[in-house]
Structure 1
Amino acid sequence: MRGSRAVALLVATMVAGVAAAAGPRSPYDIAFDDAMARYHLPGLAVGVIEDGRVVWTRTAGETVAGSGKPVTSRTLFKIASNSKAMTTALLARLVAAGKLRWDDPVTRHLPQFRMHDDWVTRNIEVQDLLVHNSGLREGAGDLMLWPEPNAFTRADILAGLAWLVPQHSFRSRYAYDNLLYVVAGEVAAAAGGAPYEDLVRREVFEPLGLARCRVGSWRSAEVDDVAQPHMRKDGRNVVINADAAIVPAITSAAAGGIRCSLGDMLAWARNWLAPDARQLAWLSAERRRELWTAHTPMPISGRRRDWDRTHAYAYGLGWRLADVDGTWTVSHTGTLSGMYSLLMLLPDRHAGFVVLINGDGDAARTMLGEVLLKHFTAPAERATIAGYAARVAAEPVTRGQAAPDVSVREPVAVDELRTRLGIWRDPWFGEAALCEEAGRVRFRAAKSPLLSGIVMRSLGRTLVAWDDVRVDAEAWIDLPADADEGMLKLAKVDPRADFSFDFEDLAFRRVRDCD
């Protein structure tokens, strides 16, 4: 035992000596450590590029909390909506090959494609699928994609789009959309003569050497280093939506279904910041400029004006374009339940960074991304995680944004809703049962099994309390007085809930009695 203590003391002394010789921590290390500690992240991977070279990488935490399996530069993360830029790169490759044009009508490649308005159906072009100007509500139809797992197919999406009523005029304004990226993936498949997943592997992953990126169905064992998504519960990080032995193909792949490692994402970033001759042969400078050309102006928030002094903000083809402190940036984020990503490029400086998180990382991504960005655009500010967190905490809550307190609730009596029980149908979402089960009224969506819960009363209204904690946006349920004539409608209880819970686009009509 005395010998073991002596060895341990020697090792500790050596480590301390190495740390002292290394000098003070870099700004990147400080920001990384602060983000991990403040936000209790299960895992984090970050890489920085300067002058076209990867100059710093760091990983910490675990792929599964408590497993002891460390996050590394090879660990796969869901990159979520950072998949969109890979989809547009695939389409650019098909444009370069003469297999489609950006201004092709979508119906040229998908004759079955329909929007709610016939004129829009005839005139919407391939590039319109990619720039969030369709006129649909933000996140319209996303309940066909999430929460996962569900039974919606790409054919369901193509059939359902015609029933989604636009909120604005076509091409009049920006509203983020995922379904049309799924359509874009089907356009690529039709033009490229192969499934979207095969095309991405062939046209993007393989030529760029993104060897660990995965899309479609694959076996977990063949990778054996995969970050699982987590949520915070009772002060701990808990895995949600864990992968099975065979990871299934998902409907949303073109919009947000790709997984890559930190090493892959840094290689992807360098391809845009400092392409070599081989990469320019893969995609020419002309095609690259097309992807980074502004199409749809985006609203500039007060925070962005205050923090970044942004004057121009727009969406290109799968990329967000903005000036930050006088520096041009090209970026995107990715958000899925329990997974967050950020890719930020500063093309004029051949610089950028990647952030990958496998937990509740919204705030962590925002603060860490801002601190890393300021290192390039405003180093004199000496930005810190704590400083930006304090600025967020000081922001006033706008009236109408605060979530109502619905903690006091009770189940609605079955007899109170007896005349309105039955099977209800929405034309794009399908059937949902509002039926008695074990003395309670329950709502069950036929194609989205996680959307199941007890109907409760709170604040004089009825809401659905979902059974599964992964569904973190409860819904008001408004029932008609006459079940045979009126519509059943849903709406988010918390107006700040993720826009992908597009309950407001649902309009159910009763079709039959409970089974």
Structure 2
Amino acid sequence: MSFRLPRPARMIFGLGLAAVGFPAMAAPDPGLQAFLESTVAQVRARNHLPAVAAVVQIDGRIVAETAQGLRANGFAEKVTTGDLWHIGSDTKAMTATMIARLVERGLLRFDETMGEAFPDWAATMDPAMRKVTIVQLLSHTAGLLPVTDDKDLDSVMAIAGPASGGWQVQRANVARAFLSRPPATAVGHFAYSNLGYIIAGAIAEAHTGKPWEQLVAEEVFAPLGMMHSGFGNPALPHAHDQPWGHKPVRGRLVAIDPGSPGSDNPPLIGPAGMISLPLHDWLLFAQDQLDGVHGRGRLLKPETYARLHTVVVAPYALGWGVKPGADGKPDLLTHSGSNGYWLADIRIMPRHDIITLLVTNAGNDAANKAIVEIGKPLRDRLKPFD
């Protein structure tokens, strides 16, 4: 997504999070650590990026990690391995997992239709959209408008109503409006849509009375001990306590003050892409998804992880891009995320118990190129599919 509209300062829910702790640091692999540091340094310099961070975890232990560059171009503060990063659409896997927790509790069903989810206005829905299910929302097969650029967002914001009404009200307004329209794409066919996740978030809110932000904090962050995870820009306005996003201006990347209008997506987009966190917190979530493939995850039953990780229409499952193995279990769970000013990439290889996370505080073409130029040689070195 590349939305550029005003939003309030970053928000973190204080929930007395469980002290699960960060992933263990293994005795580092000196060769892999040196390779990662060198590759990140060369690629960052070649692509003129403000900062890049990367971490590799194998068998539940961090074996290599690095953070290089500046929190904000034009300022002196350097990034650290404990800094927070905006992960954009990589949020979707956490939204899907939160909804799966509600399904296990009996508050939702994966096959629940839009007519059942919003009975008070089911009669006003388009007949085809009334039959769309939560699984179809989460797998981008619901026939919805993609909402992946500024023009699409303008129409969504016009429908959502004023922010003063609250994000829950905005999400409900968006759901009601778009479910009343005929499908924009063929229902059952894959068409990536952030709108599907906004509506899924609205369903969770309607069934629980809690905002999506609180639900994710309670259902995902707290039980996994993700104590430093939150929403929106990771840095405080006008401060260099965390990295800033960057936008291209006349051929160079310019830091965007988190307090400035347009520094992030509007909060109603949250379920589709608004989480920010340190890489060690992200590893806690990634490791739980990996463990879920092996039947030992903390958050969900094995059969529910399998539902999340099973392809609906290639290449997408529920919140994940998936490369399935011969036995149907995933060889790879992956996703990339960006709000236009950041870029994040996650790769989970369950058969080899490998996780790689790559992030940068820029979202331009050079950032996308850098993720490839770091990720491919890193995976070649790890040889996860040999």
Q: Per the alignment, in what secondary structure is the counterpart of residue 227 of structure 1?
A: coil
Q: Deviations over 1:457-493 (max 9, x none)?
A: xxxxxxxxxxxxxxxxxxxxxxxxxxxxxxxxxxxxx
Q: Deviations over 1:407-429 (max 9, x none)?
A: xxxxxxxxxxxxxxxxxxxxxxx
Amino acid at match of 1:375: R
- The aligned counterpart of 2:319 is 318
Is the CA contact (8 Å cut-off) linking 2:43 and 2:374 kept in structure 1?
yes
Among candidates 159, 167, 192, match of residue 208 of structure 2? 192
Is the CA contact (8 Å cut-off) linking 1:116 and 1:161 kept in structure 2?
no
Among candidates 334, 338, 342, match of residue 341 of structure 2? 338
Q: Per the alignment, in what secondary structure is the counterpart of residue 317 of structure 1?
A: coil
Among candidates 183, 197, 205, match of residue 221 of structure 2? 205
Amino acid at match of 1:197: E
Unaligned 5+ runs, structure 1: 1-21, 298-313, 381-515
CA gap of 1:337–1:50, structure 2 versus 1, over 3 A, is same
Q: Per the alignment, in what secondary structure is the counterpart of residue 140 of structure 2?
A: coil
- The aligned counterpart of 1:100 is 108
Deviation at 1:281, TM superposition (A): 4.0
Is the CA contact (8 Å cut-off) linking 1:294 and 1:321 kept in structure 2?
yes
Question: Of Structure 1 and Structure 2, which has the larger fraction of its residues in strand?
Answer: 1
CA distance in 1, matches of 2:70, 2:246: 11
Q: Deviations over 1:371-415 (max 9, x none)?
A: 2232333799xxxxxxxxxxxxxxxxxxxxxxxxxxxxxxxxxxx
Amino acid at match of 2:343: Y
Deviation at 1:184, TM superposition (A): 0.4
Among candidates 40, 50, 67, match of residue 32 of structure 1? 40
- The aligned counterpart of 2:164 is none
CA distance in 1, matches of 2:379, 2:175: 39
- The aligned counterpart of 2:285 is 268
Q: Per the alignment, in what secondary structure is the counterpart of residue 321 of structure 1?
A: strand
Is the CA contact (8 Å cut-off) linking 2:52 and 2:67 kept in structure 1?
yes
Amino acid at match of 1:317: L
Please tell me whether Structure 1 or Structure 2 has the larger radius of gyration of its CA atoms: 1
CA distance in 2, matches of 1:236, 1:142: 22
Deviation at 1:270, TM superposition (A): 1.8
CA gap of 1:149–1:38, structure 2 versus 1, over 3 A, is farther
Q: Per the alignment, in what secondary structure is the counterpart of residue 54 of structure 1?
A: strand
Deviation at 1:228, TM superposition (A): 1.2
Q: How is 1:114-263 mapped onto 2 (pairs within 5 angstroms)?
A: 118-136=126-144, 138-139=146-147, 143=151, 145=153, 152=160, 153-162=170-179, 166-171=183-188, 173-215=189-231, 220=236, 225-240=241-256, 242-243=258-259, 250-263=267-280
CA gap of 1:121–1:234, structure 2 versus 1, over 3 A, is closer
CA gap of 1:126–1:182, structure 2 versus 1, over 3 A, is same
Identify which of structures 1 and 2 has the higher relative contact order when contacts are C-alpha pairs closer than 8 Å and 6+ apart.
Answer: 2
Is the CA contact (8 Å cut-off) linking 1:53 and 1:270 kept in structure 2?
no
CA distance in 1, matches of 2:249, 2:335: 28
CA distance in 2, matches of 1:137, 1:67: 40
CA distance in 2, matches of 1:38, 1:116: 54
* 1:280 and 2:297 matched: yes
CA distance in 1, matches of 2:187, 2:245: 36
CA distance in 2, matches of 1:178, 1:24: 36
Q: Count residues with an aligned counterpart.
A: 340
Is the CA contact (8 Å cut-off) linking 2:89 and 2:272 kept in structure 1?
yes
CA distance in 1, matches of 2:183, 2:124: 7
Is the CA contact (8 Å cut-off) linking 1:219 and 1:247 kept in structure 2?
no
* 1:354 and 2:357 matched: yes
Higher alpha-carbon deviation: 25-34 or 82-91: 25-34
Amino acid at match of 2:140: H
Deviation at 1:99, TM superposition (A): 0.9
CA gap of 1:339–1:322, structure 2 versus 1, over 3 A, is same
Q: Deviations over 1:190-224 (max 9, x none)?
A: 22231111111111111111111112799928x97
CA gap of 1:234–1:261, structure 2 versus 1, over 3 A, is same
Deviation at 1:342, TM superposition (A): 0.3
CA gap of 1:82–1:46, structure 2 versus 1, over 3 A, is same
TM-score computed with the length of structure 2 as normaliser: 0.77
Question: Of Structure 1 and Structure 2, which has the larger fraction of its residues in helix?
Answer: 2
Q: Per the alignment, in what secondary structure is the counterpart of residue 356 of structure 2?
A: strand
CA distance in 2, matches of 1:208, 1:67: 34
Q: Deviations over 1:225-266 (max 9, x none)?
A: 332111233453202363359999701000001111112112
CA distance in 2, matches of 1:204, 1:24: 31
Is the CA contact (8 Å cut-off) linking 2:68 and 2:80 kept in structure 1?
yes
CA gap of 1:209–1:338, structure 2 versus 1, over 3 A, is same
* 1:328 and 2:331 matched: yes
Residue identity over aligned pairs, in percent, reads 28
Is the CA contact (8 Å cut-off) linking 2:87 and 2:274 kept in structure 1?
yes
